[in-house]
Amino acid sequence: MRKSTKAAVRHRKRSKIRKEDQVRVIAGKDKGKIGKVLRVDRKRDRVLVERVNIVKKAMKRRSQSDRGGIVEIEAPIHISNVAVVTKSGNATRVGYRVENGKKARVARKTGEAL
């Protein structure tokens, strides 16, 4: 059976949050925590932030030296629950400005470059 053409033409979602950005969690159990974005999953609109949304996971032993057991790892959180942090420590939305023919990311609140 053939898939519809709409699924094949689906466009990639753009997000203003990128890998290596400093972000603050603005909703959920870890509200207020600040961390660095490790990975962005555009397909599911989720981000992996270091030291945020820690969950326990049962890991199987893979080798003799590997311990296995219950480990704590970071789980992805929805991209709408984080906001980019400026150098002054304020959470803000991200905007764009063209400077010298190049597109630059700027903080909406203060206008400073990110």
Distances, alpha carbon 29 to alpha carbons 1, 25, 40, 54, in Å: 44, 9, 20, 10
Q: Name the more confident of 47 and 3.
A: 47
Please say if the pLDDT value at position 9 is more than 60: no
Q: Which residues contact 109 (CB under 8 A, 6 or more apart)?
A: 86, 90, 92, 93
What residues does each domain of the chain span? 14-88
Task: Report the distance separating Cα 46 and Cα 38, nearest Å.
Answer: 11
Stretch 15-20: mean pLDDT: 92
CATH topology (fold) of 14-88:
SH3 type barrels. (2.30.30)
Query: What pTM does this model have?
Result: 0.79
Identify which of 7, 22, 41 has the alpha carbon closest to the alpha carbon of residue 83.
Answer: 22
20-67 pLDDT tens trace: 999 999 999 999 999 999 999 999 999 999 999 999 999 999 888 888
